[in-house]
Amino acid sequence: MTDMQRFLIRVLCFGAIQAALAAVVLHVNRIETENTYMAASADKHIRLASTKPPRIIFVGGSSVAFGVDSTIVADSIPYQPVNMGLNLDLGIEYMLSEIEPHISRGDVVVIMLEYPQFTKDRFSSVMWAYTALHRPGCLTELGLGQVATLLDTGLGPIGRLTKGCGNCLRGRSNPPAHPYTRRSFNKYGDVTAHHAMSRPGPLVAASFTYDPDYVSKVICRLNRFDRHCRRRGAQVLLYCPPLHPVFYTGCRTEIMLIHRDLVEGLTFPVMADPVEVIHQEGEFFDTTSHLTYAGKVKRTRHFLAKFAEAVAKDAKPQGSRKHGED
């Protein structure tokens, strides 16, 4: 046997050992995270694939998961609701990419992006990894930017998964905290487990800055998504996220600048002004983005009223400046 052959055998053995260890880590983590919040992505995609058009598909972060009452929606309009909202840190690009292949004629896509998503790419490789454990198909939904982020920050999810595997094998695993579990969602994809819960502590508030260049980039991406949907016979609408009064007061300038850019630049309708979606302090659950049941019902009814107006206007494009047009 030559030196080269010995070397190749050692490389193959090393690779086989690493592959076996990776398989164990992934398998243990998949079992351990079966009931976690991010695992609900798999259920949402089953709902998306199994529900026939016309559908109304809600897109955004956790404010969408906590802020839409799909039961009221299903009872009020002739569309089947699919709530795809999960986590802000999956990023805008991924949120749009994961549903683009599934858009069909007659669908309506309602985008409800939290304002921090207009300041930078929020894609988190760790959050995505916990989603990928239960829906490996999401590998095909990554854009070049997300692939680059994974290559740059890949040690983060690897370390988290390895640590999680070790803790599980030592009997030190931590169960997910209620209501942040897979079972907290109803069949439409809404979080409902918190309806009867009281606020667990002080509200967690977000902050952000206004970056006109990044907002313009987001608008271009949203307009490309709109063109994709129109080619498939679907309609896109944008609805403002719920706003806490203190959060709105502190970030009013940034919010209104972003809103102005959206109204002027998008090729599809913006359904409401920010001041219309300000909720009372008591209508928030644990963050300034997550609504209580009462807040969710109020927001859903307001959305349905604005949706009726948009349908009546035949959803004409707003503004004269169209970012990202061909």
Tell me the pLDDT tens digit for each residue of 34-61.
Answer: 788 899 999 999 999 999 999 999 999 9
User: Which stretch of 151-155, 166-170, 317-321 has the lowest confidence by average pLDDT?
Assistant: 317-321
Which residue carries 């002739």 as its tokens?
78
Mean pLDDT across the stretch 187-214? 91
Mean pLDDT across the stretch 279-305? 96
Q: Looking at residue 256, what is its pLDDT?
A: 96
CATH of the domain at 115: 3.40.50.1110
Whole-number Å distance between alpha carbons of 191 and 67: 8
Amino acid at 244: H
Q: Looking at residue 165, what is its pLDDT?
A: 57
Q: Looking at residue 319, what is its pLDDT?
A: 47
Residue-wise pLDDT tens digits, 90-129: 999 999 999 999 999 999 999 999 999 998 877 787 777 7
Mean pLDDT taken over the chain:
86
* 74 within domain boundaries: yes
**Band (23; pLDDT cuts 50, 70, 90):** low
Residue 14 has pLDDT above 80, yes or no: no
Instruction: Name 152's Cβ contacts closer than 8 Å, sequence gap at least 6.
Output: none
Which of these, 56, 27, 137, 6, lies nearest to 303 by C-alpha position?
56
Q: Is 0.95 surpassed by the pTM of this model?
A: no
Q: Name the residue range of residue 290's domain.
A: 37-153+181-312
Whole-number Å distance between alpha carbons of 235 and 151: 35
- Provide the CB-side half-sphere exposure for 216 (13 A, CA): 6
* 248 within domain boundaries: yes
Residue-wise pLDDT tens digits, 222-268: 999 999 999 999 999 999 999 999 999 999 999 999 999 999 999 99
Whole-number Å distance between alpha carbons of 293 and 297: 6
Residue 318 has pLDDT above 70, yes or no: no
Q: What percent of the chain has pLDDT over 90?
A: 60
Residue 324 has pLDDT above 60, yes or no: no
User: Which stretch of 17-21, 37-41, 318-322 has the lowest confidence by average pLDDT?
Assistant: 318-322
* 280 within domain boundaries: yes
Cβ-contact 194, 184 below 8 angstroms: yes
For the chain, the residue count is 326
Radius of gyration of the chain (CA): 21
Whole-number Å distance between alpha carbons of 229 and 245: 34
* 66 within domain boundaries: yes
Q: Is 259 or 138 the better-scoring residue by pLDDT?
A: 259
* 175 within domain boundaries: no
* 15 within domain boundaries: no
* 219 within domain boundaries: yes
Instruction: Name 239's Cβ contacts closer than 8 Å, sequence gap at least 6.
Output: 110, 111, 112, 270, 271, 272, 277, 303, 306
* 197 within domain boundaries: yes
Domain count, the chain: 1
